[in-house]
């Protein structure tokens, strides 16, 4: 999440706490005697680990505030269910019916757009009713409170392929995705992100393992943009996909493009040198830089520095790591 937006959200959170608290005379050293205040502070740190931002946000919380356990529980329950202004829009403009020998199903075309400006990089995916149904079951297990009032279109015994039912579900699924995305705990969850990206990633990695690098690259380039939009608060989570793009470009002899994406991945791992992709990526970047006539000595120094600090263990190559992703 953007630091400014996150700080603003935390300010709103803390101001809301202050409104429902009662005054008491405490000192700055009362945190041990006021465990509820400490719990609030702990929760804020979890939401925003940046110490500087935390100090700014905490400035709006009165040192005289306190809450009962019941108030605190109710407050966090409401906070988790609170909806936020959407940054992504979900449209379902069309469907298609897929028929097999003994069965058929409806595929819903989902277009995902960025709000606030013209979005030329819209993401397009397809999902069927059973995919939505599986997502709903999973979210009910993990987020029972948040999902308490979320409705889901029920199955019908007959008429599933009539134009009326299909159109009703198009609208229902559009509203369903919009509502899920508006709740921050759900839109950040692995299950929600997997629903929107995992089928395409599985197909891409399957192509990569089969040596179909052009096809794999085409899919990866489409899905990585959506991944980045969905995981703005966790840029490291996109590193495996970016590294798979590096592998595809490298095996297609697109050395310059491979190096370009490798730099993007390294930037995300700058403070995460223990990440499993860090050393394989460094080794690949050294090779690419050498081939392109770029500075590879600084990369070599980073590699040697890492090896000097850690016991040398067997490290997979970047390609070996990539082909292991999404293996069932």
pLDDT in tens, 306-322: 888 876 667 799 999 99
Say what percent of the chain tops pLDDT 90.
60
Model confidence over 115-172: pLDDT tens digits? 765 656 789 999 999 999 999 999 999 999 999 989 998 887 777 889 999 999 999 9
For the stretch 222-264, pLDDT in tens is 999 999 999 988 999 999 999 999 999 999 999 999 999 999 9
| Domain architecture of the chain: domains with CATH | 87-188 (3.30.1520.10), 203-324 (1.25.40)
The average confidence (pLDDT) of the chain is 80
* Residue 64 confidence (pLDDT): 40
C-beta neighbour count of 215 within 10 angstroms: 16
- Average pLDDT of the segment spanning 7-15: 47
Report the alpha-carbon distance of residue 122 to residue 114 in Å, rounded. Answer: 7
Which has the closest alpha carbon to 145: 91, 83, 204, 77? Answer: 77
Q: What is the pLDDT of residue 40?
A: 35
Residue 328 confidence class, pLDDT cut points 50, 70, 90 = low
């Amino acid at each position: 999440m953007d630091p400014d937006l996150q700080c603003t959200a935390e300010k709103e959170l803390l101001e809301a706490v202050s409104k429902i608290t009662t005054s008491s005379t405490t000192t700055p050293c009362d945190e041990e005697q006021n465990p509820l205040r400490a719990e609030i502070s702990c929760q804020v740190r979890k939401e925003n680990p940046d110490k500087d931002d935390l100090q700014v946000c905490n400035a709006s919380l009165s040192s005289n505030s306190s809450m009962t356990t019941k108030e605190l529980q109710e407050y966090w329950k409401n906070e988790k269910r609170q909806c936020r202004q959407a940054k992504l829009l979900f449209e379902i403009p069309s469907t298609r019916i897929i028929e097999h020998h003994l069965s058929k199903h409806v595929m819903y075309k989902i277009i995902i757009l960025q709000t606030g400006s013209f979005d030329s990089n819209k993401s397009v995916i397809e999902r069927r009713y059973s995919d939505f149904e599986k997502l709903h079951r999973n979210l009910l297990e993990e987020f029972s409170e948040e999902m308490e009032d979320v409705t889901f279109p029920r199955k019908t015994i007959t008429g599933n392929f009539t134009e009326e039912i299909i159109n009703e579900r198009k609208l229902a699924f559009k509203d369903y995705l919009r509502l899920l995305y508006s709740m921050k705990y759900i839109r950040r969850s692995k299950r929600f992100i997997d629903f929107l990206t995992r089928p395409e990633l599985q197909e891409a990695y399957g192509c990569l393992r089969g040596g179909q690098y052009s096809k794999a690259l085409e899919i990866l380039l489409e899905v990585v943009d959506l991944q980045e939009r969905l995981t703005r608060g966790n840029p490291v989570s996109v590193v495996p996909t970016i590294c798979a793009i590096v592998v595809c470009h490298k095996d297609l002899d697109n050395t310059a493009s491979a190096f370009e994406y490798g730099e993007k991945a390294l930037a995300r791992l700058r403070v995460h040198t223990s990440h499993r992709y860090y050393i394989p990526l460094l080794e690949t970047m050294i090779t690419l830089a050498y081939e392109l006539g770029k500075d590879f000595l600084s990369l070599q120094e980073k590699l040697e520095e890492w090896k000097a600090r850690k016991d040398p263990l067997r490290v997979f190559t970047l390609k070996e790591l990539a082909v292991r992703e999404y293996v069932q």
